[in-house]
Amino acid sequence: MYCNANIETHRKKRMTLEKTGSEVLTKEEWNELIALKEAITYAPQTVSTQKMEKFAELMVRTLEGKESNTPR
């Protein structure tokens, strides 16, 4: 099918994001997270893709430390 596709290079790529910073958000980051959440909730078409990516990054950072505290 795809003779020129190099599958090995695609398999080496990680599917998870690297840690972007500390797990603890600053006050300014929390305020930005809340503002972006409200904007996405009420009018998602007004939020740029860069701001949506920022929201996702901040959300992931709030969750990074929580998975180690969950019982198994």
Q: Where residue 2 falls among pLDDT bands split at 50, 70, 90?
A: low
Q: Where residue 72 falls among pLDDT bands split at 50, 70, 90?
A: low
Q: Which is more confident, 35 or 2?
A: 35
Q: Is the pTM of this model over 0.85?
A: no
- What is residue 71's DSSP assignment? -
Determine contact, residues 23/60, Cβ cutoff 8 Å. no
Condensed to tens digits (0 to 9), the pLDDT of residues 6-59 reads 655 555 555 455 555 566 889 999 999 999 999 999 999 999 999 999 999 999
Q: How much is the pLDDT for 24? A: 80
